[in-house]
Structure 1
Amino acid sequence: MKKIIVIIGLLVTTLNSCSDFIDEDNRSYGSAEQYFITAPGFESLVNTNYATLKDVYGGDPWLFEAGTDMYSEGRNQEPEGLAKYLTLSSASAGVDQLYRTCYSSIQQANKGLYYSTITEKASTLDTRIGELKFLRANAYFLLVQTYGGVPVVLENINTAVTSFDRNSAEEVYTQILKDLNEALPAVATGAYTGRVNKRAVQNLLAKVYLTRGYETFGTPADFTTAAALADQVINGQALAVSFDNVVKPGNEMNAETIFSVQFSIASNATGTTSLGSSQNYWFSSYLGAAAAGTPYPNRSYTLCPTVYALSLYEKGDKRWEGTFMNEIYSRYYDYYDVADKSGLKITDFYEPSWFTVDDRTTWNTANASRKANAATFRYHNWGTYSSAAASGGDYNLIPVRKFDDPKAPYSGATSMNFNTTPFTPATNRSSTRDFIISRLGETYLIAAEAYFKAGNSATALDRLNEVRKRAGGGVAGVIPVLTAIDINTILDERGRELLGEYHRWFDLKRTGTLVQRTVLYNPKVTSANAFNGQNGLLKILRPIPQAALDLNRSKNYPQNPAY
């Protein structure tokens, strides 16, 4: 295969640090090349690899969450193509995000692996090589799920190359598995500290095998392997952290976190609204800075939960209050800043789906003294605050609180015009909360899906019901134990557990339910015809970005056939 590289801003040599242990600091050497062949220099280079995750996951969420059953456009505009499919093309806004950021990550990993062969030997060298291979595999996994076959680039390339060929999706999966299986015996085996460890590798391997099992080149053994790997990650660990503490700001390094992107206030000091994560920005309604207290990050009012997403939660499910701010205090962040909330006044209450008329009366009577102002207090009846009703005022949508960051600086008002070319993302990356990529609750659900696909429904139900037990406060039966399972049962549970956690589009695409469930539950995509593409094919894979096609001189790089 000819030497290849993607050149749409992918050659990145310096990135901002991810955390205190990820700092690139060259004080003693005249060039990066000289520095990287020293033990401290190579360590710095590996740390820079971790920093690439900030751009992969910290920016806009469209390729992860838009155009699904869980979210639809609210008061503000989503990228039309990615959200509604009908106009989706290679030039659509946001299509190139993962192509750019993942190849930047791959290029950095290739550089690190190149220097690993010539740098000073250190006791951590083999461990760092394993970490680099994990990071490269993670980037390729995102790419192959999103675009299908892409170029497999394994060389450290320092000069622009304008001709590259596509590898098949099967070849990309082969490379991903090769990297992860080589990383597995090399990385550290201890508890998670922010660096890739054995458990993180096993977890990603489980998800890769699960996803490959659905492909035409997958085999039933992929599901069996995925289930075994997921159980190795679980290793008898119960879901003992309450859901509220799993999503609590500042508690991202809890016992159930498997891998995350490390952010910190110090590393964002030079770009307080551009170097962090934007996850706190997208999944809620704008309430106004004055109403919320200071500091307060602007909310986008863009990705809004659908009626389906809100109706997933049952009475007794602790994930309802853990995911949504169903009571809003006069000062929004008093929820986090005030220990004793009994004296706080509330301005809004969002009624859950299970409330009856009697429940409504009971709540209003019991909480009469808590209402900030009887004349202006807003009681939001069930059915009045989903994405279908989110085009009105600031409080017409229930806020998603699980990504709140009370320490984030105000990011300022932004306007987004997705019709401009090139589209420039809004500057809203103000959160310094670690971005959790994988956690134990999802691993149980990976195991459930893998066992189900392997034909072992009984064990699949066991794994899924463990997630439901924790959702009921750790007490079995608070929410019903499920006795039957299918793919929709699994997707419903993933929706409850993982709302907004950058998995949903991949979940629907993997399971072959993207068209069916989006049309069924997304009010902005009402016909399967929106997915119709060229050559009688559906727009399931995203198109290869037009910029990559324009820069490529190879004739062996076709666009995805639906485009």
Structure 2
Amino acid sequence: MNTEKLYLKLMKGFALLSVVVIAISCEDYLEEQPSTLIDSDYIYTTEDGLKSGVVSLYKFNRDRYDNGTEDFMGGVLMSSRSDLAFSRTGYTGLMGRYERGVSPVDQGAKFVSSLFWKHFYNIANKATEIINAAEALEDIDEDIRNQVLAEAKFFRSNSYFYLYRMFNNIYVTTNTVTVDNAFDVINDKSSKEEIFALLNSDLDFAIEHLEWNDTFGRVTKGTAKHLKAKVAMWEGDWEEAKYQAVSLIEEGPHSLMPTTEEVFSGDKNHAEALFVIQSQDDLLGGGDNTMINANYVTQYFQISGIEANIAQGGRGFSRILPNKYLLDLLAEDPNDTRDDDTYFRLKYYYTSGDSINQEIKIYKPITDLNNPSDTYTSYYQRLHPSCIKFAEEDDNPNSYLQRSNIMVYRLAETYLIAAEAIMRSSGDPLPYINAVRTRAGAAPLATVDEQAILDERARELAFEGERWFTLKRMGQEVIDRQITNYAGDAEYYPANLGEKDPRTNWKPYYINFPIAQIDLDLLGPGYPQNDGYN
């Protein structure tokens, strides 16, 4: 075990060197360096090397989305495990229905280990190496040092924050792994106080030293303020969350896009975007093709008389679909544009033959439980509404594999954070939640409570990977209620009743993911597994 641990810790340093040239070439704001210059001395002891090391963090961060494990589970898992999704099939379906990923030794936990636990610890460790090297380097311009430190500290805090939200029992460190300490055994988790002290320290530095504007794709002061507000929400520090969110909204250069149609169009290089993972076609290091969009789009193209086309979502295979609960929320206001081919596609149309341009209605969902449709399974597979936030105008409609920029953080969530933080502290939350609703064409609210916040976050942010975390943050009662009442579609998809029903399968201790046994084996013998999994 000790030999494996040393190998893993030492290999991460070599991995950094192996990707720096690729990472450099994938960002248009960086200058290529000859490969002969890329070695450990260059990375950690030179100004240009540290700048290149920071760029590699962006590449590592993108790896989770690019990883093809089980139909690109790393990019879609968190959306599948929410109260807003129907997880139809595939291994992600098993995970979303809480049939897998519910034991430290099952295959799902092993996937989560690779795609999340190891992934984010890898980024945090690499960021720490860069931070400690930048702080020690003497021959470096101070502005560049602070820029390097600010970006690296953002990535460290973002990684540890993600791990904490998933696993709870995590450890954090500011020490660089060396040959001398590689055998040190981690015997216990970090306290909540230790975790949040590091998160806040890193983010305070990033906010102070990052600029409001930078090259598209790089983190900015606004990105750090948004993350700081999210961290404060998890601490229950409503005043801090309010301050950071309102400051970002009122002082920064960002603004909501005028229409919902524009939010996910093009390359997402616009005023609402706070952090976008970049990919680019036909470029070394430009990122891999993924099936993220295909996971969310139904198989309408298997119906005679309609071909896969970008206007209707591209080519999909119906893994994760918006459930009835989410669709009902979107339908509450008939003027809400978020279900009008901007965030979701509700209807499909023939593209050839005698019925060209007519809506396809050959399969029916169950609407009357006393007289169920006999074609509901085909409906879910081929005609069900789809999330189209990840479809791109230049996608290949004949391929499940696409390459696209991915929105990670955006200002609409900042507005909803501000609304909730103000609701829980002092002030008027209505201008902030209604700004999001007004942009979508929905009528403004007259009052705001926790359920109104939950509902608006559902309409605006569904399938962006934040819902499960929001439920967990709001507490055990909230996540238990939402999952057991709304996850999946229950009796409206009777084929999944019983062992395939997430409402039935949910257990309260699933509020934390299990730490995979393969990861516990590399920790001290007393390191605590999350409650319920022992």
Unmatched segments (≥5 aa) in structure 1:
214-221, 332-344, 348-368, 414-427, 473-478
Q: What percent of counterpart residues are identical?
A: 24
Question: Which residue does the alignment assign to 1:138?
Answer: 158
CA distance in 1, matches of 2:437, 2:310: 36
**Do 1:515 and 1:528's aligned partners in 2 also have CA atoms closer than 8 Å?**
no
Task: Give the TM-score, by structure 1 length.
Answer: 0.76
Q: 1:407 aligns with which of 383, 394, 415?
A: 394
Report deviation, 1:109.
Answer: 0.5
**Do 1:239 and 1:440's aligned partners in 2 also have CA atoms closer than 8 Å?**
yes
Q: 2:132 aligns with which of 104, 108, 114?
A: 114
Question: Which residue does the alignment assign to 1:424?
Answer: none
Unmatched segments (≥5 aa) in structure 2:
67-71, 368-372, 491-499
Report deviation, 1:163.
Answer: 2.1
CA distance in 2, matches of 1:449, 1:257: 20
Mapped pair 1:530 → 2:505:
yes
Specify the SS of the correspondent of 2:334. coil
Amino acid at match of 2:338: R
**Do 2:350 and 2:357's aligned partners in 1 also have CA atoms closer than 8 Å?**
no
CA distance in 2, matches of 1:527, 1:323: 24
Change beyond 3 A, Cα 1:20–1:390: farther
Question: Which residue does the alignment assign to 2:521?
Answer: 550
CA distance in 2, matches of 1:308, 1:494: 13
Question: Which residue does the alignment assign to 1:233?
Answer: 248
Amino acid at match of 1:310: L
Amino acid at match of 1:263: S
Question: Which residue does the alignment assign to 2:529?
Answer: 559
Report deviation, 1:209.
Answer: 0.1
Q: Which runs of structure 2 are paired with 1:10-409 in the superposition (5 Å)?
A: 12-13=15-16, 14-15=18-19, 16-17=22-23, 18-21=26-29, 25-29=33-37, 31-58=39-66, 59-60=72-73, 61-78=75-92, 80-84=94-98, 88-92=102-106, 93=108, 94-96=111-113, 97-116=115-134, 117-118=136-137, 120-122=139-141, 123-159=143-179, 160-161=182-183, 163-165=185-187, 166-190=189-213, 193-213=216-236, 222-235=237-250, 239-250=256-267, 252-267=268-283, 269=284, 275-288=288-301, 291-292=307-308, 298-313=315-330, 314-321=333-340, 322-330=342-350, 371-372=355-356, 377-378=360-361, 391-392=377-378, 394-408=381-395
CA distance in 2, matches of 1:291, 1:36: 52
Report deviation, 1:446.
Answer: 0.7
Task: Give the TM-score, by structure 2 length.
Answer: 0.80
* Larger helix percent: 2
Post-superposition CA distance 1:484-513 (Å, at most 9, x none): 222111111011111211111111111122
Report deviation, 1:482.
Answer: 1.2
Question: Which residue does the alignment assign to 1:417?
Answer: none
CA distance in 1, matches of 2:412, 2:528: 39
Amino acid at match of 2:231: V
Amino acid at match of 1:104: N
Post-superposition CA distance 1:460-491 (Å, at most 9, x none): 2221111111011xxxxxx3221122211111
Q: Which runs of structure 2 are paired with 1:464-503 in the superposition (5 Å)?
A: 464-472=433-441, 479-503=442-466
Change beyond 3 A, Cα 1:294–1:539: closer
**Do 1:29 and 1:35's aligned partners in 2 also have CA atoms closer than 8 Å?**
no
Change beyond 3 A, Cα 1:106–1:484: same
**Do 1:147 and 1:541's aligned partners in 2 also have CA atoms closer than 8 Å?**
yes
**Do 1:74 and 1:391's aligned partners in 2 also have CA atoms closer than 8 Å?**
no
RMSD: 3.3
CA distance in 1, matches of 2:431, 2:29: 39
Amino acid at match of 1:559: Q
Amino acid at match of 1:112: I
Change beyond 3 A, Cα 1:163–1:235: same
Amino acid at match of 1:225: E
Specify the SS of the correspondent of 2:37. coil
Question: Which residue does the alignment assign to 2:493?
Answer: none
Bigger Cα displacement from structure 2, 130-139 vs 156-165: 156-165
Specify the SS of the correspondent of 2:512. coil
Post-superposition CA distance 1:410-435 (Å, at most 9, x none): 7967xxxxxxxxxxxxxx5x323x21
Report deviation, 1:189.
Answer: 3.1
CA distance in 2, matches of 1:495, 1:481: 16
Specify the SS of the correspondent of 1:505. helix
**Do 2:77 and 2:92's aligned partners in 1 also have CA atoms closer than 8 Å?**
no
Question: Which residue does the alignment assign to 1:504?
Answer: 467
CA distance in 2, matches of 1:307, 1:128: 46
